Chain A
Amino acid sequence: MKGRDLTELAARNLREAILRNSLTTLGVAVGVASLVAMLSLGVGLQTLASQRLNKSGLFDAVFVTSRRGMRGIGGPPQQQPKPAKVEGAKPLDQTAKQEFEKLPNVTEVYPQVRFLTEVRYAGNSYSANVLGLPESSRSTGAFDGITGKYFSSPTADEAILHADFAKELSPQVATLVGKDLVLRYAARQQKSTQDIAAEKDIDKQLDDMMSGGISIVSREKKLRIAGIIESDPSAGIAGFGGGRVFLPLRVAEELHPAQPNDVQEFVRAGGSSKAAYAALTVRAKSPKDVLKIEDAIKNMGFMTFSLLDATRSLRLVFTVFDLFLGLFGSLALTVASLGIINTLVMAILERRREIGVLKALGATDGDVRSLFFAEAGAMGLLGGVFGVALGWLIGQALTWGTTLYLRRQDLPGVKISYVPWWLALSAVAFAVVVSLIAGLYPAGRAARLNPVEALRYE
């Protein structure tokens, strides 16, 4: 029989027992929906985690330090270079920064500006760690739930406070936005040779000569509080946590705060230190570029660290997670396939005489088998399509419910369910395959019916 005739006959047969076939198809749809909902949840959570982690800068960032005795960030001690190589190591200075910027697929290179400061607010003093944030941190997602606003410009004299620190300043953290605070910090000052020579106070001139012109002076900076955040954006961007006051990076750099490596550089250079960075963060276009960039920077003679291995582990975890979700989802489809077997076996009993007539008219065993297969496949296809739609709706409902809950907790909504095209197509194909497998026994049984016995059946 031709495919078109087979389809027409199968569709007619399905229409005739509309209630039973609809219920069976609904069973398949529910099975597929549970599978799709489960997997869409897995895919959604994986996508969410990947997006968040990518946005956080953890996985597209390479943290670079000089080999001049500074330990790499978080790296195990055995990965560190041997002390013998330290002598010839390059300084992590402006030249190195420019070299990194020229590397392919590098989007941004910025220093880590971090310093301890005293914060004065409403007549009280507080101790806090200050961190400069690059402009790119705006898109990390850490500021999604900000109270107030992100920095109005990269050079604005503004600060964003961590909520924990803000609570120390005032129990009503929201009232802090728009208020001013003052930073008192240690600034690094370097005098030129001419300035030292021009110094009239002989004691000071001697001090300057001994210190290579470097001095640490106390400075103050008035900043307006732009916003307050719950999460810590510094964890991803600079590799360290613990920032409590955040400034635009350029503002932080202009403060010239004394850095922990200043003294080290000074001692190494025998009192003629040039400004060098403690660490630089190199941002890649995407996490897949990180490895090449890391290798290139290592070849330049610097130490690097990235969290690429952590991404691989994350993928493994999610694959296992998806597998389990898929298995649980498939259980419902297995039950639905029993429904198909039941429906088709019932159909054989009811249509025994019809099968006999078809065989008497010249239908081959293959024709009869194909007819039952087509009916099973059609139920699978319809159930699959409805199931995907239903699964998508369940996913939407889950996203909606989660978003509602998060909003009540003053947190931004998230999309936890995602049905990619490959999942939709695979689910429909899976439903058809399962239905065809379920149809194997009934179709075989129908094909084997003896026409004489079938025609005798009342």
Chain B
Amino acid sequence: MMAADQNLIRAEKISRQYRLGETLIHAVNEISLEVTAGEFLALLGSSGSGKSTLLNLLAGLDRPTSGAIHVGGRNLGALDAEELARYRRDTVGMVFQSFNLLPRMTLEENVELPLRLAEVDHREREARVAEALERVRLGGRKRHRPSELSGGEQQRGALARALVNRPKILFADEPTGNLDSVNGEQILLLLQEIQSTLGMTVIMVTHERPLAERFTNRIVVLSDGRVVRDSAKELSEIRGKQ
């Protein structure tokens, strides 16, 4: 029972293939992975290694060609489109490399968007938006549009949007990819803080090994769609030496 609770995510031999003309691309090739609740996991790999595809599969944005993904005991493959959308809305938060804040909306409205989709009561929304923005230290910028914010602020705004529905798992796809080192570090500090204070599971895709080693507690290295190393133990050793 205890083991089932701890393994929030369990991927069993999942594959994702694409057909590109005549060629069949194995973006993810029979990966099995278990993620414990509260982990801060980095999916590390070079471009085309399949890390973003794996993240999309775990986040319910895409479906595997074969294999099964169980999240909180639910098989994502058995969910229909609407149930999968509800999974993304209620269980998952997403942060992207290019922030993906909607340019027409203010920061506040962007953060409110998942609450609108979840049909949360109007009065409750205000409080939750304010709370999420305070958590990422953007309470004073809520009326600004994304174009009026710096890259770091935009990513923090995106993080607030991902947190506002109080998800169990936060997926971050190259969250520092478009940021300078200072802002990148700030984002990772925030992710670390969220993971530790809220007990949230964070799965982050990155190609920056030093940052992954510094902030996460587990690194899964991918290459050609396969897991080549799962270094949770190694990482604690590295930290011990530091």
Q: Is the A/B pair a real complex?
A: yes
Q: List 9 A-B contacts (CB under 8 A).
A: A1-B119, A2-B116, A359-B61, A360-B59, A361-B88, A364-B85, A450-B62, A452-B56, A455-B61
Please report the C-alpha to C-alpha distance between residue A354 and residue B88 in the assembled complex, in whole angstroms: 16
A360 and B88 in contact, given A2-B116, A5-B116, A452-B56 (Cβ under 8 angstroms): yes
How many residue pairs link A and B with beta carbons under 8 A? The number is 67
The answer to whether B117 and A13 have CB atoms under 8 Å apart is no
A353 and B61 in contact, given A1-B119, A5-B116, A9-B116 (Cβ under 8 angstroms): no
Measured between beta carbons, the chain B residues less than 8 angstroms from A433 are: none
A362 and B104 in contact, given A1-B117, A452-B56, A455-B96 (Cβ under 8 angstroms): no
The answer to whether A364 and B104 have CB atoms under 8 Å apart is no
Interface string of B130-159 (1 = CB under 8 A from A): 000000000000000000000000000000
The answer to whether A13 and B104 have CB atoms under 8 Å apart is yes
The answer to whether A12 and B100 have CB atoms under 8 Å apart is no
Which residues of B in the span 87-137 have a Cβ within 8 Å of any Cβ on A?
88-90, 92, 94, 96, 100, 102, 104-105, 113-114, 116-119
A353 and B100 in contact, given A5-B116, A364-B81 (Cβ under 8 angstroms): yes
Q: For residue B162, which residue of chain A has the nearest CB?
A: A361
Binding site for B on A (CB under 8 A): 1-2, 5, 9, 12-13, 16, 353-354, 356-367, 450-452, 455
The answer to whether B85 and A365 have CB atoms under 8 Å apart is yes
Measured between beta carbons, the chain A residues less than 8 angstroms from B161 are: 361
Please report the C-alpha to C-alpha distance between residue A116 and residue B7 in the assembled complex, in whole angstroms: 115
8 Å CB contact of B82 from A361, A364, A452? A364
Rank and list the top 10 A-B pairs by shortest CB-CB distance, nearest first.
A362-B89, A364-B85, A5-B116, A362-B88, A357-B100, A361-B114, A16-B104, A360-B94, A362-B117, A451-B61
Please report the C-alpha to C-alpha distance between residue A201 and residue B80 in the assembled complex, in whole angstroms: 120
A365 and B113 in contact, given A1-B119, A12-B104, A354-B102 (Cβ under 8 angstroms): no
Please report the C-alpha to C-alpha distance between residue A16 and residue B105 in the assembled complex, in whole angstroms: 10
CB of B53, distance to nearest CB on chain A (Å): 8
8 Å CB contact of B102 from A357, A359, A452? A357
Interface check B86, CB cutoff 8 A? yes
A358 and B113 in contact, given A2-B119, A16-B104, A365-B82 (Cβ under 8 angstroms): yes
Please report the C-alpha to C-alpha distance between residue A365 and residue B56 in the assembled complex, in whole angstroms: 18
